Amino acid sequence: MNAKLVIAGLAGVCLTVGNAAAQQSPTRMGGLMVSAFVGGSANSDLQRSGARAEWLARDGPESRQFARRLTAETAGVVGLSAAYWFNPYWGVRTQAAFTPSRLEIAVSQRETHDIPIDAEVTGPSRYGAFRVWTYDANLLFRAPVTPRGRVALYGFVGGGVVKYEVSVEQGLPPEAVQAFADQESKTQPVGVLGIGAMVPLHRKSLGLSFELSDHISRTPVQGSPESSIVGVNRVQVTTGEETGPSRVQLINHVRILVGLTWRAR
């Protein structure tokens, strides 16, 4: 009888120690987590427009059709987030970030190789500031695997708002003039999805976070009215709104982030 009590007591101690060790695992999600992060971002095309270039060559007038792509250049990202894990598998998070980009026009070199060189009309050319602010809330879920026992994998999905700001003083491409003619900013809903990983550091309350995310929203540039541009080399370009499948409705704001995370223990 005494032997059975001893064995039961040892089993209880082992179970308690095992549970305590699991609770103290550095990859276990739980409680409050605050992160500061930096990284880079890339945007899909804000809008596309058809264009025709006309110029005077030695043999007479010449013309060429091509496509102009209004986009935002690749830029850095800074931001903050605060998350709370209700248990090791589910949590919620709020996040705010800022991307200081610029508007630019890009064209295909294959389509414009025989047009006289003129960045004013055929690009690529950079314009005024295009600042992207995002504020979103996410549902977090922990992946059921822990590579090497040191990497906590998770995913997230959510939504919020995105604010696009432009600098009118620094100039706008003709494709963006109508969209931002009456105001220098636009705010609209955004959907968010992504994956991440956290690696605990030697100090149990700190960790490194890595994330890949996509913010999806309607393009702030819905229309591109016909306009004419005359370059320094006497190349005139007439642009007009693209129709059909080439017209942009939704845009992607993709980020790769690295952050330092503090965890309340």
Q: Which among 190, 173, 180 has a CA at the least distance from the CA of 250?
A: 190
pLDDT digits (tens, 9 = 90+) for 188-232: 999 999 999 999 987 778 999 999 999 999 999 876 556 565 554
**Phi/psi class of residue 234: alpha, beta or left (left: φ > 0; alpha: ψ in -120 to 50)?**
left
Average pLDDT (127-136) is: 92
pLDDT for 24 equals: 52
Among 82-91, 136-145, 232-241, the minimum mean pLDDT is found in 232-241
Average pLDDT (156-174) is: 87
pLDDT digits (tens, 9 = 90+) for 236-263: 556 666 655 578 889 999 999 999 999 8
Among 36-40, 53-57, 70-74, 166-170, the minimum mean pLDDT is found in 53-57
pLDDT for 118 equals: 59
What is this structure's pTM? 0.79
pLDDT digits (tens, 9 = 90+) for 9-68: 444 434 433 443 344 567 788 899 999 999 999 999 998 877 777 777 777 777 777 778
Interior angle at CA 47, CA 45 and CA 53, nearest 5: 110
Q: Which residues of 3-15 are buried (b: 16+ CB within 10 A; e: fewer)?
A: eeeeeeeeeeeee
Sign of the torsion formed by the C-alpha atoms of 82, 86, 91 and 94: negative
pLDDT for 64 equals: 74
